[in-house]
Structure 1
Amino acid sequence: MSKRKAEIAGGGIGGLALGALLARQGWQVQVHEQGAEIREVGAGIYIKNNSLEVLENLGVMARIQPLGTELEFAQIQFADGTVKQQRRLAGASRVHTFARQTLIEGLRDVALDAGVQVRTHSRVRGVHGGALLTENGKFEADLVVGADGVHSAVRTSLNVGGGFTELPTLIDRFLIPTRRFTPQARTVEHWSGNRRIGVTPAGKDHTYVYMVAPFADQAAARLPLDVEDWSRRFPLLRELFVELAEAPATQYPYGIVKCPKWAVGNVAILGDAAHGLPPTLGQGAGLTLMNAYALASLLQGAADVPAALRDWERRVRFISDRTQAWACRYDSFTRGCPQALGFLRPLVVWGFGRFRFLNDRMRVADHGLRLAGIPVPSQVQAC
């Protein structure tokens, strides 16, 4: 019997993870990457419990864990240094941090070891008749997956509606080669008015920093970073700002993807292409990895690929939809709360830290695929 064939658009987290999972089941898999190599754009990344379950299953964590940091606590502090919320990061709330390139290289190596073929310089144009179309040709397959980001050519070609919308929030990201500002294994999010700064260790030698402000805040948008302006808002972080002013940064607006259908025939939409969301809950990678595992699991042994894809969307989509909605609420509250109502901020932050049921509702994705009845074993054996 010939192997079933999968063509995957996008050599990022979702495409590589799904490719490895399918290849271990005996699929012939080809991943199309438009760049010259598998490379991640960005700085650091939070890997939460649902991500960790899939990465442990794939064997990626065994490769990359020494290069990251296992966090013990998450705090929210106001500009005067007072701690308004503290959560212990254990069990379903566990979190590791890495440089994004470390994660993508771990996934790449596992995919290649499983037999995935990676085709670089392959720009995807869409799908037609159940086949993947690229600038270099047409690729027939039993399964086609669009894991090609928020501006997905696969999603657009399916004409299912929806698309990507920018939100009026801007984020800057930095990865600096020092642990001087993060000697403890904790992540701290600092709040001042409508600005937020996250400071987190990411391995033994690096610190990941993100800075968030409303798009209309022109002073916050300046790069190189305006040390004096940020120091007025966060006086206790001045030394950090001096360091960041000399560091490379990535800057982009928040955005959201609405995709009315994740599955059309033998084509599936995965990752940011399906559910791009603000990074306020750190679940972009988590939802992607979780949905990739669920898709591979439900395809295993399935004679009818389109039926398996429909079942996949029906069973797991609610987790992504709820997480996306909460991520947008978090963004809206932190960006749009009027200064006159600033007294509400500590109360809301305290409430979510004090009452577990509120945190569980907001962080529904942390609990992983158990909610969809698809538990993730700790490890699988390669075929």
Structure 2
Amino acid sequence: MKRKVEIAGGGIAGLSAGALFARHGWEVNVHEQGSEIREVGAGIYIKNNSLEVLEKLGVLDRIRGQGTVLERAQIQFADGTVKQERPLRDKSRVHTFARQVLIEGLRDAALEAGVNIVTGSRVTGALPGKGLLTADGGLHEADLVIAADGVHSAVRNSLKMGGGFTELPTIINRYLVEGRAFTSQPKTVEHWSGNRRIGVTPSGPDHTYVYMVAPAWDAKAARFPIDVEDWSRRFPKIADLMPVLHRAEGTQYHYGLVKCPKWSVGNIAILGDAAHGLPPTLGQGAGLTLMNAYALAHLVADADDVAAAVAAWEQRVRFISDRTQAWAVRYDWFTRQWPTSLDFARPLVAWSFGQFKCLNERMRVADRGLAQAGIDMMGEARP
């Protein structure tokens, strides 16, 4: 008899976990409260640890032509000087896509693996040892429950374990702009001006992904649509971009942080942003999610004792997410709170992030993937 997993959330976490468990022969139901599988957002960075999982799922081959393989990452200051440059290869490789491209690739992989996606199904909680609860009064019994329902996770909150979501005092605007007029080369550039940043990155053959970040207390930066004159004055080298962004459809929201004391309660596993939501400063939201989904399926799918295997999964892989989350918060603090009176020292700090190997390796621990947790992506787990 097939074992069954009930999954809350039809995003990156839920679909990837669903596809992986289905490939291990499990019966999988994914509950998505929306009327369709759709990702909110603009572009997304897919780093080495994400790419390893997408390659295993066959998703990367499916969507490769709709993305961009980046060759370099730069930090430029407002005067156009390059303060940091990194090659993006080997364990530092990065692809970019529109977020909808990724979610559709995962959806198709899940459906092909036999996953049942139930749209219009709102999850309200879970009962350890029993199953998933939905708003229609249903109890969906399962051998395993996965809470992949985002930063405001109803499943996590129903378990009353403490922790939860905190809004941070940083705002971000995101846009997916038609065309490649501002990104003719396969590189990502983050422009810095005081406590503001603008990232400009090619995202497939026909789009450019742009994000704008500023402290929430910066009233002019918080205007939406943007104040073209103000942003152009702060970033004169890319002033031609500002009218385009003013007209473009975009989103604005605050950075957030999820503190989750435990990722496992009996046969319930908490996955993705529900477990480790973090500022996007290191581009690892999707990376941690895909990596942890792979490890969960790898360590739990064939285990005799599901609850024990879920607890062991958390113990084995959590350190990567915890360290990445801590560095993402530090990076956000540095870019948001660095005193303007010390702007003369900012280039040195930016340079050090890229040049000191020990610092860079600690900050980018997630890029190296699951091998550091003793999990071989070829399929073998070392004790």
TM-score range, shorter chain: over 0.9
How many Å apart are 1:300 and its aligned residue?
A: 2.9
Which residue does the alignment assign to 1:132? Answer: 132
Write the letter of the residue equivalent to 1:134: T
Which residue does the alignment assign to 1:381? Answer: none
| SS of 1:52 mapped into structure 2 | helix
Matches within 5 A, 1:176-325: 176-325=177-326
Which residue does the alignment assign to 1:98? Answer: 97
How many Å apart are 1:222 and its aligned residue?
A: 0.9
Which residue does the alignment assign to 2:355? Answer: 354
The size of the alignment, in residue pairs, is 377
Which residue does the alignment assign to 2:51? Answer: 52
User: Could you list the runs of 5+ residues in structure 2 that have no partner in the other structure?
Assistant: none
Structure 1: distance between partners of 2:53 and 2:189: 26
Which residue does the alignment assign to 2:27? Answer: 28
How many Å apart are 1:128 and its aligned residue?
A: 2.0
Percent of pairs identical after alignment? 71
Cα deviation per residue 1:147-171 (whole Å; 9 max; x = unaligned)? Answer: 0000000000111110000000000
Matches within 5 A, 1:55-204: 55-129=54-128, 130-136=130-136, 137-204=138-205
Q: Name the TM-score, length of structure 1 as normaliser.
A: 0.98
Structure 2: distance between partners of 1:19 and 1:377: 19
| SS of 2:247 mapped into structure 1 | coil
Q: Which moved more, 1:42-51 or 1:334-343?
A: 334-343
Which residue does the alignment assign to 1:330? Answer: 331
CA RMSD, aligned part only? 0.8
Write the letter of the residue equivalent to 2:214: A
- Could you list the structure 1 runs, at least 4 aligned residues long, displaced by more than 3 angstroms after superposition: none
Structure 2: distance between partners of 1:123 and 1:303: 30
Cα deviation per residue 1:269-327 (whole Å; 9 max; x = unaligned)? Answer: 00000000000000000000000000000013200000001100000000000000000
Structure 2: distance between partners of 1:197 and 1:330: 15
Structure 2: distance between partners of 1:203 and 1:313: 35
Write the letter of the residue equivalent to 2:14: G
Write the letter of the residue equivalent to 2:306: V
Cα deviation per residue 1:318-361 (whole Å; 9 max; x = unaligned)? Answer: 00000000000000000000111112211111112212221111
| SS of 1:127 mapped into structure 2 | strand
Cα deviation per residue 1:108-146 (whole Å; 9 max; x = unaligned)? Answer: 000000000000000000012431000121100000010
Q: Name the TM-score, length of structure 2 as normaliser.
A: 0.98
Cα deviation per residue 1:39-58 (whole Å; 9 max; x = unaligned)? Answer: 00000000000000000000
Write the letter of the residue equivalent to 1:103: L
User: Could you list the runs of 5+ residues in structure 1 that have no partner in the other structure?
Assistant: 379-383
Write the letter of the residue equivalent to 1:309: V
How many Å apart are 1:377 and its aligned residue?
A: 2.5
Structure 2: distance between partners of 1:91 and 1:64: 20
Structure 2: distance between partners of 1:284 and 1:264: 23
Write the letter of the residue equivalent to 2:34: G
Write the letter of the residue equivalent to 1:60: V
How many Å apart are 1:88 and its aligned residue?
A: 0.1
Structure 2: distance between partners of 1:37 and 1:375: 34
| SS of 1:11 mapped into structure 2 | coil
Write the letter of the residue equivalent to 2:90: G
Structure 2: distance between partners of 1:326 and 1:272: 16
